[in-house]
Every structure is written in C-alpha cells, then in structure tokens.
Amino acid sequence: MATTTPLLSSVEVARFVANGYHRMDAVVPDELNQEAIGVFDAGIPVVYSGEPVAKVYEEGSFVRRLLEVPAVAGALHSLIGPDPLVDHQALHIREPHEGAAQPLHADAIIDTRPDAFDVQLMYYPHEVTGTMGGTLSVPGSHLRRTNESDTGRYQNLRGQTRLTCPAGTVVLLHHGIWHGGRRNDSDSRRYMFKIRFNPTVPQVRLWDTGDLDDPQITRELSRFFPWCEHATGRLEVYNRIKLWRAMTGDASFDIDLWATRVANRPGRAA
Amino acid sequence: MKQQVLVLYLNTSALDSEVLAWAFYDGTGRTDPTTGDSDLPPYGTGTEALRDGWRLFQASQLLPPYPGHEYDTSYLKHEFFFEKLE
C-alpha cells in the first residue's frame, strides 16, 4: 500500500475522533468508478482473511488500485497505519425499491478497545441520490458501547446522516459507528463496497502532526451532537479526550479539565 | 382494537425535555415506518405527544452506572413508550 501520499492533518484526525468517520467526496477517478460496476456485477464474495493487503489483492487488481488512490491511501495510513490486515470485504447491493432498511447497528460485536480501532472503508462507485437509500449513519455514536443491532429499535435520530454523494466517494468509518443501509426507493441499483482493516502498529501519531497545537483540535473534540443527551454528551467528550491521549501519546491532554478534575486526588495513590 | 406505538428518546429524564430520537410502529398497517426515513421528530418534547393524545405506558428507569463503568456510554438513556389504540 502506498504511504507517501497526502496524510490527514491533526485537525482532520481529531474530527474523525469526534465524528467517527472521514468522508472524501469524488476522490476515485471516473475510469476506476466505471470499471467498478463490471467488477461488482461479476461478483465479489464475502471473504474473511486477516491477511495483509498485498496478500489478499494482487498487484494491479481493481481493489489494489482503489487502495492506491492517493487520498485513500493517505487517509488510511493516517488512521490505521502502515501494512494493515484485511479483516474482510463485502459488497452491499440495494436493489431498486428493495423493501426494507437494515436495523441500525455497529458491525461485528461490542468492542471495548480503548486505544485501538478498526477502520471500515466504504466506496460508492456511482452517485447516490436521496431516494437511493444511501447509508444511514449517526455521527459521534462510535464510542458508545453497544452490541451490533441491539440499537435496531432506534429508527431516526436528530443529526443523523442519510448519505448522498457523487460518484467515487470513499468514507472511512470507526468500527463502532452506528449505521445501516436504507430502503432503496429509486429505480436504480445501489452499490457499496466495504473493506474492514485491522491495525498492525500502535495507532499513535500516524498522520501529519505539524498542526498538533492547533486550537481547532479542542473545538473538534468538544463537539456535541444533536442526538446525544446533554449529560451523556459530556461523557462523550471525556471519552474522546482519552482516545486523543492514546493516539497522540500525550497523557496530559485535556479539555476544560474534564479528565484532570476527576483524577485529582491529592495525597492519594492514583 | 389495534395499537400504534411511538417511542421517544428525550434529552433528560424529564418528560417535557427535547426529543432527540424516535421510532414509530403502526399496528393498523396504514404506514410502514423504517430506519432512517425521517430527519424531523414527530414532536418537540414528550409532553407535546401527550397533548396530541398519546398515552405514556413505559419510561426508562434511572439506574446508577455499574462501578468502574461510570464514564462508559451506551444505549440512549431516556426512553419513553407511548400508545394510541384504534
């Protein structure tokens, strides 16, 4: 996988830590998008591999070239690191007027890692319009500890994102984000190709850290989301502080003393 | 007699606080609500639903966090179930 490509900034990674996703509109060239439909129609099996990218996808294959798109390679490197493992791949197809939406869920099983995360790449080779049932996701939900589709009771949340995007859009998701394929009410078939990656190195300062002191980082990590209870939203900020500390190696990082205050026990052992 | 069920998730444990999330299940079969079908909540607060004739039949309890998990976040906390019968 190419790694000499544009890395994300600290502000962009902080936004990922808060939102649980990094979206890149129309970054995949048209010729690759055109090729994708044929590749997908030929069939892509669901495969769980746990092997390096180079072992799973041949040099020059469609997926290798997709992962070598500079913006994609740089963002992946920034979040998951060099030489990740391919956890699995899956092609999701929503047929025209397909009747049902997926229940809101997080993939795999409840995942309590405080200092590591998987990244899921979602690629849309064609334009996704409002009626095509683009992926529903809930920004900021990724740090909630819930198990798969136990969130299926929630149909709609304030601030949810019903994806519409131009062809060639790639979204990188934190493994924990609540999401689901929506009902396709259009006359068009909708494709989404997904690859889940596992890190093989500590996810610490893997991005362009030149702006690590930018005050915008604090503003990104402090964000409150419209669906989140006010009180629990404070805990979300606390948990983002913990993750940012892990990802920067800076155990003193804090926002408005949220983490420092509750750890202050003068004269006591930690 | 058929039941319609409205589930509202509120900002605090108070029934008159803001609606943050919602779900609707229609036992009459007249509508077919599903995941991600609306960006606007049906009511602004829980009490607005009461004023429109919805009967509250269940509210989530206030449970203390498990020791050691005080900072964990999980499911939406303030869940209220309403019904209408037709």
| pLDDT per position as a tens digit, B4-28 | 999 999 999 999 999 999 999 999 9
User: What does the pLDDT read at residue A270?
Assistant: 58
- What is the distance between the alpha carbons of residues B70 and A35, in angstroms, rounded to a whole number? 50
Cross-chain residue pair B75–A103, CB shorter than 8 Å: no
User: What does the pLDDT read at residue A268?
Assistant: 86
User: What does the pLDDT read at residue B73?
Assistant: 97
**Chain A CB contacts of B76 below 8 Å:** 154, 229
Beta bridge partners of B56: B82
Q: Indicate if A190 and A123 belong to the same structural domain.
A: yes
Residue A64 lies in a domain: yes
Cross-chain residue pair A101–B75, CB shorter than 8 Å: no
Q: Indicate if A142 and A226 belong to the same structural domain.
A: no
Q: Does B39 touch chain A (CB under 8 A)?
A: yes
- What is the distance between the alpha carbons of residues A212 and A10, in angstroms, rounded to a whole number? 6
Q: Looking at chain A, which residue has its C-alpha nearest residue B42?
A: A156
Q: Indicate if A41 and A15 belong to the same structural domain.
A: yes
Q: Looking at chain B, which residue has its C-alpha nearest residue A111?
A: B74
User: What does the pLDDT read at residue A100?
Assistant: 80
- What is the distance between the alpha carbons of residues A41 and B9, in angstroms, rounded to a whole number? 41
Using alpha carbons only, what angle is made at residue A255 by residues A228 and A233, rounded to the nearest 5 degrees? 10
Q: Indicate if A69 and A117 belong to the same structural domain.
A: yes
Task: Compute how many other C-beta atoms are within 10 angstroms of the C-beta atom of residue A45.
Answer: 7
Burial A2-16 (b: 16+ CB within 10 A, else e): eeebebbbbbbbbbb
Tokens coding B38 = 């609306």
Residue A108, domain CATH: 2.60.120.620
Cross-chain residue pair B37–A183, CB shorter than 8 Å: yes
Q: Considering only CA atoms, which of A84, A261, A40 is closest in space to residue A172?
A: A84
Q: Does B14 touch chain A (CB under 8 A)?
A: no
Strands A136-137 and B3-10: unpaired
Q: Indicate if A135 and A252 belong to the same structural domain.
A: no
Mean pLDDT of A64-87: 98
Cross-chain residue pair A151–B21, CB shorter than 8 Å: no
Q: How confident is the model at residue A45 (pLDDT cuts 50, 70, 90)?
A: confident
Q: Indicate if A93 and A42 belong to the same structural domain.
A: yes
Residue A66 lies in a domain: yes
Residue A3 lies in a domain: no
- Quote the minimal CA–CA distance from A64 to chain B in Å: 33
Picking from A198, A217, A252, the residue at the C-terminal end of a domain is: A198
Would you say A247 and A17 are in contact if contact means Cβ atoms under 8 Å apart? Answer: yes
Residue A203 lies in a domain: no
User: What does the pLDDT read at residue B54?
Assistant: 98
pTM: 0.95
**Chain A CB contacts of B37 below 8 Å:** 101, 155-156, 182-183
Cross-chain residue pair B35–A156, CB shorter than 8 Å: yes
Q: Indicate if A177 and A223 belong to the same structural domain.
A: no
Picking from A146, A175, A198, the residue at the C-terminal end of a domain is: A198
Q: How confident is the model at residue A213 (pLDDT cuts 50, 70, 90)?
A: very high
Higher-scoring residue by pLDDT: A270, B85: B85
Place of tokens 């984000």: A177
Query: Residue A128, exposed/middle/buried by CB under 10 A (0-12, 13-18, 19+)?
Result: buried
Q: Indicate if A89 and A134 belong to the same structural domain.
A: yes
Nearest to A232 among B7, B39, B77 (CB): B77
Nearest to B37 among A144, A152, A155 (CB): A155
Q: Does B66 touch chain A (CB under 8 A)?
A: no
Mean pLDDT of A113-124: 97
Mean pLDDT of A215-222: 98
For A50-66, the pLDDT digits (tens) are 999 999 999 999 999 99
Whether the per-residue pLDDT at B39 is higher than 80: the answer is yes
State which residues form the domain around A237: 209-261
Q: Does A164 touch chain B (CB under 8 A)?
A: no
Higher-scoring residue by pLDDT: A35, A94: A35
User: What does the pLDDT read at residue A134?
Assistant: 87
User: What does the pLDDT read at residue A1?
Assistant: 47
Number of domains in chain B: 1
Whether the per-residue pLDDT at A191 is higher than 50: the answer is yes
Q: Indicate if A73 and A143 belong to the same structural domain.
A: yes
Picking from A174, A198, A222, the residue at the C-terminal end of a domain is: A198
Residue A223 lies in a domain: yes
Whether the per-residue pLDDT at A3 is higher than 50: the answer is no
User: What does the pLDDT read at residue B2?
Assistant: 97
Would you say A187 and B51 are in contact if contact means Cβ atoms under 8 Å apart? Answer: no
User: What does the pLDDT read at residue B47?
Assistant: 98
Q: Indicate if A35 and A110 belong to the same structural domain.
A: yes
Whether the per-residue pLDDT at A102 is higher than 70: the answer is yes
Q: Considering only CA atoms, which of A182, A167, A168, A87 is closest in space to residue A132?
A: A182
Quote helix, strand, coil % in chain A, to nearest 5.
30, 20, 50
Whether the per-residue pLDDT at A4 is higher than 80: the answer is no
Number of domains in chain A: 2
Q: Does A245 touch chain B (CB under 8 A)?
A: no
Of A179-183, A195-199, A200-204, the poorest mean pLDDT is in A179-183
Q: How many CB pairs under 8 A join A and B?
A: 92
Whether the per-residue pLDDT at A218 is higher than 80: the answer is yes
Q: Does A20 touch chain B (CB under 8 A)?
A: no
State which residues form the domain around B45: 3-85
Mean pLDDT of A148-159: 97
Whether the per-residue pLDDT at A241 is higher than 50: the answer is yes
Q: Indicate if A193 and A247 belong to the same structural domain.
A: no
Cross-chain residue pair A101–B74, CB shorter than 8 Å: no
Q: Indicate if A161 and A118 belong to the same structural domain.
A: yes
Query: Residue A224, exposed/middle/buried by CB under 10 A (0-12, 13-18, 19+)?
Result: middle
What is the rounded radius of gyration, in angstroms, for the C-alpha atoms of chain B?
Answer: 14
